[in-house]
Amino acid sequence: MPTIRCPECSYSKDTAPSIIPTGCYLITCPVCGHSFPPHQPEKPSEKPLSNTPEIREIPFTFHGKSGEYFGIWIVNTLLKVLTLGFYSPWAKVRKRRYLYGNTQLENHPFDYIADPWVLFRGFLIGVALFVSYTVLNQLNPLLALPLTLAFFIAMPWLIVRSRMFNNRNTSHRNLRFSFAPNYREAYMTFALLPILTTATLGLAAPYVLYRQKRFLMENNQFGRTPFCFEATVGDYYQVFLRLLGLGILTLMIVTAAGYAGVVYLAPATGLSPLLSGVGRSEIFAVSFMLVFFLFSMASSLYLYVRLNNLNWNRTHLDGHYFNSTLSVRAMAWIFLSNLIAISLSAGLLIPWATVRLARYRVENLSLVAHGSLDHFLAGKDEEVSAIGEEIGDIFDVEIGL
C-alpha cells in the first residue's frame, strides 16, 4: 500500500491504490494545508543513491543564425506584400520550421509539421470574417455589433482550437504534442473569470492569470503524458505584490527627485521663471506621461520575466522538471537594443533581433530529468482544423499566453 507523505509537516498516510486518481493533481495535507504533487522526485545531490534514477540538467540549445533567418524573412516579407497577404500561411510555416528546427533538447530538434494549405483554408475564412466586419462597421457600427459579439463568444473556442492545431503539428523525438479540448473549462477561464478583474477593480487579475495559465499548461500533453502545473495563486500574488512595492518605491523616488528639482535645482540653473510661468502645467503633464509610459513598459517586462520563470519552474512532465533563468535586466537590454537596432535599420535588423531574443529565451531554459527520456508513448493521431489559429491571427488575438 503506497504511503503519501507531506513534504511540509511530514504527515503521512497509507492509501489504497484504487482510490488514487490518475493524471495531474495536487494533494492537500489535512494537518498543515500544504498542497503538493503525489510523486515528488528527489532533489539533485552530489552523490546519488544507486537505486535512484540518474538526475541530469539538460539545457535547451538554439542554433539559429541571423544570416540564415534573414533569407527566410526577406522572402516571406516580399511574397506577403506581392500577394496582398495571401502568402501568410506559408510564411508562418517557414518561420516556425526554422525556429523550431534550430531549437534542440538533448541533441534532438523540435519539428513544426503543419501543412500550409490547411492553414490557408483557415486564413480565407478569417479574411472573409474580417472583411465582413470592416464593411459592416463602415456602413453602420450597429450592423457590425452582432459579428463582434459572436467573435468574443467564440474566443475561448478559438483559443482551444489554436492550441490544438499548434500542438498537434509540433513534435520532438518523433512524438507529437497535443492539447485536450476542454471547452467548458475554456469558457469558464477565458469568458467568465475575466469579469472578476473588472468587478474587483483589478484585485482578481493575478487569480485570473493563474487560472488561465493552469488551463493552458495542464491540458498540454507530450505523447500520452500530460504536463503538471504546480504553481499556486499565492505565487502569482507574490509577483504582483513585489511589482506593487517597486511601483510605490519608484513613485517616491520620482516625487522626491521632482521636488528637489523644483526647489533646489531650478533656482540654481535659472529655470524658476519657466517652471512658474504658463508652460508649467504642460511640462509637468509631459513629464508625468513620460514616467507613466516608462513605468508601464518596465512593469510589463517585469511581469513577463517573473511569470515566465514561475510558470516553467513549477511545471513538470512525468517527474521531469523545467528550470527557467530569465533575467529582468538582461531582457530589458535585449528589448531596448533590439528596438534601437530595428529603428535605425528601417526594419532590416528584425531577423537579427528575432534570433537574438529566441536564443536568449531558449538557452535560459533547461530540463531537470529524473531518469531517461525514452519512456514517453505516442498519443492518438488526429487531424485538427487551422480555423482557430488563423482567425486568431487575423483579429490580433493573443492566444499563446
Inter-residue contact 104 to 110 (CB < 8 Å)? yes
Instruction: List Cα–Cα distances, 97 to 43, 55, 64, 170, in angstroms.
Output: 35, 31, 11, 10
How many whole angstroms separate alpha carbon 15 and alpha carbon 82?
65
Sequence-distant (6+) residues with CB within 8 A of 110 are 100, 101, 103, 104, 170, 171, 172
Domain locations along the chain: 113-223+379-401
SS3 label, residue 110: strand
Please, which pLDDT band fits residue 400 given cuts at 50, 70 and 90? very low
pLDDT digit string, tens, across residues 7-27: 667 767 766 555 555 556 566
Mean pLDDT in residue range 137-156: 86
Inter-residue contact 365 to 358 (CB < 8 Å)? no
How many whole angstroms separate alpha carbon 241 and alpha carbon 214?
20
Inter-residue contact 381 to 144 (CB < 8 Å)? no
pLDDT digit string, tens, across residues 274-309: 555 545 566 666 777 887 888 888 999 999 999 999
Sequence-distant (6+) residues with CB within 8 A of 275 are 262, 266, 283
pTM of the model: 0.78
Residue 363 pLDDT more than 50? Answer: yes
Residue 119 pLDDT more than 80? Answer: yes
Inter-residue contact 9 to 32 (CB < 8 Å)? yes
pLDDT digit string, tens, across residues 367-398: 998 887 877 766 555 555 556 555 555 554 55
DSSP output for 246-303: HHHHHHHHHHHHHHHIIIIIHHHHT-HHHHHSTTHHHHHHHHHHHHHHHHHHHHHHHH
Inter-residue contact 379 to 223 (CB < 8 Å)? yes
Of the candidates 248, 216, 142, 221, the residue with the CA atom closest to the CA atom of residue 381: 221
Residue 271 pLDDT more than 60? Answer: no
Please give the radius of gyration of the chain, using alpha carbons only, rounded to the nearest integer.
25
